[in-house]
Structure 1
Amino acid sequence: MNLPGITIHKLIDQLTQSPFSFALYRLPWTDEPILVLQEEGKTEILGNPTDLNGKRGFVLTPFHQTQTHPAIIIHPDKVAHGWGNISQVLEDFASARNITSAGTIITEKKITNDEEAKIEYEQAFSRFITPLQNKAFRKLVLSRNYTQELDITFSPLSAFIRACNSYPRMMISLCHTPLTGTWIGSTPEIILSGHETEWHTVALAGTMPMQGETMPTEWSEKNQEEQAFVSEYIRQTVKRFGSKLKEKGPYTARAGQLVHLKTDFHFQLKDTSHLGDILKELHPTPAVCGLPKEETYTFILRNEGYDRSYYAGIIGWLDPQGDTTLYVNLRCMNIAGHTATLYAGGGILPSSTVETEWEETQQKMNTMRNIL
């Protein structure tokens, strides 16, 4: 991706500390940055996914909605494609308003201790593996976060551009609102995308590291079983809303220095005014929650030991009358002052081992560490 001018670079970094809401994102296999800017008014809070019915704008929802972490939509007062158009929009915006003043209260987060993080994860793993081995659940997803210090010269936009150049297969995002703070992400997982009658979602589960530049293809029984659970849930959900369902997969798909098992689901929708209803059923998918969905969702909230915030929520562009590109917010981090809090998780089955799952979260967090 080409670099924007110095002035625009500074303006976007300043926006991440302002009272204004914006999202900058780039879709997979493109070089075009897209800016969504809300010029006026407070960020709209959504009660639940069905509130998205008929809405148009940039969406950011948490894994679990609370007063601290509400679901929001950024109104698209201005939408600009490409650095040239983005520069013009931001220059006009800056000339009319002061965007240099801080609009969010930034509380530096406690830096994570490596040894303590490992111990906490092992304790959480023991809480998760027991009900799986007792066959109370078929699958659980265990995640964690990690807070590290940023260099004083850290630039959110520079990190966004590095992610764009490093991860062409993923949706890259830089999103800021006074309610959510600043988030940078690099996600491979579509939750819902489409245009008019043609729609698409995916089942993405199972993880292995790349072998240099060679994609491994020999998947363990655990990974195949995990992917099958996710596919079956999405298959049944899509059938309730769409028609003419077609599947492709599972196949090995690369995401940065990792590979996953992926199945594509293509289907038709006659009515796009109720996309929020579909999202309510899809989110959270078993890829970030577990099976059975409601029971594992409640278990995670009670036993994971921390708030996932906007990790594993929904992020992206929603337009029922145009193109919709919504993703699961994976491989992401929250920027607060001079700290970055990274998030990662993995599917746990009765056959899982704590060392293997810990290493998987390390590899996933490296997606964000590599752009810091």
Structure 2
Amino acid sequence: MIEVKEKQFTVELEAAVQSVQTDQKNKLFSYTEKINQVNLYRFLEKAGILELPRTFWSSATEAFQLAGAGHAFELSAEASRYRYDQVEQEWNALLDDAVIYNPYHTSGTGVVALGGFSFDPLKPQTKLWENFPESHFSIPSYILTHADGKYYLTINRLIHTAETYSSVLEELQNNRQALMDNMEIPLNSSGLRIQSKQEIAPDLWKETIKKATDVMKKTAVDKIVLAREVRLHFNQSANIPDILNRLVNTQPNSYVFGYEMGEDCFLGATPERLVKVKDDEVLSTCLAGTAPRGDTIEEDEQIANNLFQDPKNREEHDYVVQMIRSTMEAYCTDIMVPDEPVVHQYKTLQHLYTPVRAKLKENHRIFSIISGLHPTPALGGTPRRDALAFIRDNELLDRGWYGAPIGWMDSNNHGEFAVALRSALIQKDEASLFAGCGIVEDSVPESEYEETKIKLMPMLSVLGVD
């Protein structure tokens, strides 16, 4: 068992219980300590054995990972355009009363909430996403943080007025021991294989593209993003920690996420950051314009150069950059945008990339930026309202959390959200994969279909396709 500073923990817990009983008000107790190196995937595996819901986040650009077990507290909001405000109000109210012991103030320590939103709160939910609300955030009961080469364990517990110190202490000690003992045992490898793959109505999807291009020829709509679904059947139930481990190892420069609700888990490896906030520093990135990798260095460089020089991709990219800048102007100062993009290369794809940096104004938080950015033209289209209306009425699937903001925030006023692309909804021995592309007036349905096949490959390869 990983030893803890038992005396400090018991002192802080006893003070928290006393505070709850004195004020006669339930409060969240949060305790963070530095620990020795541990295997986050083994931790997730043990959480699964204990039937605790699991959460996971791995940053694309730095050695930063979060692994959560259980729900100490849950935040949610109704399906409306005010859902960001509702979640933020719940979050602030929780922190106002929380009893927090965290001497480190490292990103991802203290009270940490992980979660996300649906793509479109006005789209009727289907049975596929029945376990995922329009918005949901979990403050895990136990969370491991790997940051700057160090490891931390945070214990979160909502203490109720009728509870005693001794009963809470016994519960937390037993659960901590069950999760943290025998961490040196290697992670189980699943041997997962895909037995069948079903593309959901590909011909109808191509017809929807034709319908979209017809609309654009007659109206002021410039772009509509359309997504499609592929359904997989496996030889056994999926091993979530093993999949997340493989995504991290095979998809460098991507944000790897996992969010478990009931028996379903939404996970993926997305290259697209939506926004990062650290104190008052804000970073958003535009990743619009896509091409495959080449088979040789020369071919790779030629494809990258063609992508950089392509007028259609550059125009689409610049539109997203200007939209991000416009959103930042409402909530930020000192906005900095490079004059032109660069090409960022990933394992199977390459994209045009532009970072946008700024300073957050007082009285604004990460949700202010998210509400202004989502959905970007790369995920919805332009103009936003008209494109979303077409998607809502004509797209052949319920996107659920696909293409929507997913990420984390903490009590240190740090947080980061990505766009949930290159993703799958895992349901025991089945899964739905999603991929989309931007449709413009001269789009060719067959070419767009081939582009989605490329975008599906990173997830397919991890799930059992060569």
Would the alpha carbon gap of residues 128 and 354 (structure 1) be closer, same or farther in structure 2, given more than 3 Å must change? Answer: same
Matches within 5 A, 1:270-309: 270-271=361-362, 273-309=364-400
Instruction: Measure the CA separation in 2 of the matches of 1:154 and 1:121.
Output: 28
After superposition, the C-alpha distances for 1:272-302 in whole angstroms (9 at most, x for unaligned) are 5443232112111111001111121111111
Matches within 5 A, 1:60-139: 60-65=116-121, 68=130, 69-82=133-146, 93=175, 113-114=198-199, 117-139=201-223
Instruction: Measure the CA separation in 2 of the matches of 1:23 and 1:5.
Output: 11
Structure 2 gaps of 5+ residues are 1-36, 92-111, 157-171, 180-195
Would the alpha carbon gap of residues 121 and 148 (structure 1) be closer, same or farther in structure 2, given more than 3 Å must change? Answer: same
Who is 1:106 aligned against? Answer: none
Cα distance, 1:331 vs structure 2: 0.5
Who is 2:58 aligned against? Answer: 26
After superposition, the C-alpha distances for 1:113-167 in whole angstroms (9 at most, x for unaligned) are 34x6321221221121111222430111011111111231631111111110111
Task: Tell me, yes or no, if structure 1 residue 202 matches structure 2 residue 282.
Answer: no
The amino acid of 1:325's aligned partner reads E
Cα distance, 1:34 vs structure 2: 1.4
Who is 1:104 aligned against? Answer: none
Contact 1:272 1:321 in 2 (8 A): no
Instruction: Measure the CA separation in 1 of the matches of 2:173 and 2:455.
Output: 36
Instruction: Measure the CA separation in 2 of the matches of 1:118 and 1:191.
Output: 29
Who is 2:85 aligned against? Answer: 50
Contact 2:277 2:366 in 1 (8 A): no
Give the secondary-structure state (helix, strand or coil) at the position aligned to 1:236: helix
Instruction: Measure the CA separation in 2 of the matches of 1:11 and 1:276.
Output: 33
Higher mean alpha-carbon deviation, 321-330 vs 29-38, is at: 29-38
Who is 2:254 aligned against? Answer: 170
After superposition, the C-alpha distances for 1:149-193 in whole angstroms (9 at most, x for unaligned) are 123163111111111011120110121123x93111101111110
The amino acid of 1:113's aligned partner reads Q
Who is 2:313 aligned against? Answer: 223
Higher mean alpha-carbon deviation, 3-12 vs 27-36, is at: 3-12
Question: Between Structure 1 and Structure 2, how many residues are aligned?
Answer: 352
Cα distance, 1:202 vs structure 2: 1.4
Would the alpha carbon gap of residues 3 and 127 (structure 1) be closer, same or farther in structure 2, given more than 3 Å must change? Answer: farther
Instruction: Measure the CA separation in 1 of the matches of 2:63 and 2:369.
Output: 30
Contact 1:139 1:226 in 2 (8 A): no
Give the secondary-structure state (helix, strand or coil) at the position aligned to 1:229: helix
Would the alpha carbon gap of residues 5 and 293 (structure 1) be closer, same or farther in structure 2, given more than 3 Å must change? Answer: closer
Instruction: Measure the CA separation in 2 of the matches of 1:304 and 1:120.
Output: 10
Q: Identity of counterpart residues, as a percentage?
A: 22
Contact 1:125 1:354 in 2 (8 A): yes
Cα distance, 1:74 vs structure 2: 0.8
After superposition, the C-alpha distances for 1:187-234 in whole angstroms (9 at most, x for unaligned) are 111111021111011122111001136352212222122112212211
Give the secondary-structure state (helix, strand or coil) at the position aligned to 2:235: coil
Question: What TM-score comes out, normalization by structure 2 length?
Answer: 0.69
Cα distance, 1:5 vs structure 2: 8.8
Instruction: Measure the CA separation in 1 of the matches of 2:48 and 2:293.
Output: 33
Instruction: Measure the CA separation in 1 of the matches of 2:449 and 2:440.
Output: 14
Would the alpha carbon gap of residues 149 and 243 (structure 1) be closer, same or farther in structure 2, given more than 3 Å must change? Answer: same
- 1:155 pairs with one of 239, 244, 247: 239
- 1:37 pairs with one of 66, 69, 77: 69
After superposition, the C-alpha distances for 1:27-67 in whole angstroms (9 at most, x for unaligned) are 114455311334445x4322312224363511211101356
Contact 1:275 1:320 in 2 (8 A): no
Instruction: Measure the CA separation in 2 of the matches of 1:190 and 1:162.
Output: 20
Would the alpha carbon gap of residues 218 and 336 (structure 1) be closer, same or farther in structure 2, given more than 3 Å must change? Answer: same
Who is 1:314 aligned against? Answer: 405
Would the alpha carbon gap of residues 320 and 255 (structure 1) be closer, same or farther in structure 2, given more than 3 Å must change? Answer: farther
The amino acid of 2:218's aligned partner reads N
Would the alpha carbon gap of residues 13 and 367 (structure 1) be closer, same or farther in structure 2, given more than 3 Å must change? Answer: farther
Give the secondary-structure state (helix, strand or coil) at the position aligned to 1:227: helix
Contact 2:289 2:351 in 1 (8 A): yes
Instruction: Measure the CA separation in 1 of the matches of 2:48 and 2:444.
Output: 41
Instruction: Measure the CA separation in 2 of the matches of 1:239 and 1:84.
Output: 37
- 2:268 pairs with one of 185, 188, 195: 185
Give the secondary-structure state (helix, strand or coil) at the position aligned to 1:157: helix
Contact 1:57 1:73 in 2 (8 A): yes
The amino acid of 2:210's aligned partner reads S
Who is 1:142 aligned against? Answer: 226
Higher mean alpha-carbon deviation, 88-97 vs 261-270, is at: 88-97
Would the alpha carbon gap of residues 211 and 13 (structure 1) be closer, same or farther in structure 2, given more than 3 Å must change? Answer: farther
Contact 2:41 2:241 in 1 (8 A): no
Question: What TM-score comes out, normalization by structure 1 length?
Answer: 0.85
Instruction: Measure the CA separation in 1 of the matches of 2:40 and 2:279.
Output: 36
Give the secondary-structure state (helix, strand or coil) at the position aligned to 2:326: helix
Give the secondary-structure state (helix, strand or coil) at the position aligned to 1:296: helix
Higher mean alpha-carbon deviation, 85-94 vs 237-246, is at: 85-94
Would the alpha carbon gap of residues 303 and 87 (structure 1) be closer, same or farther in structure 2, given more than 3 Å must change? Answer: same
The amino acid of 1:35's aligned partner reads A
Would the alpha carbon gap of residues 129 and 184 (structure 1) be closer, same or farther in structure 2, given more than 3 Å must change? Answer: same
The amino acid of 1:251's aligned partner reads V
Instruction: Measure the CA separation in 2 of the matches of 1:91 and 1:345.
Output: 46
Instruction: Measure the CA separation in 2 of the matches of 1:325 and 1:63.
Output: 17
Instruction: Measure the CA separation in 1 of the matches of 2:258 and 2:173.
Output: 19
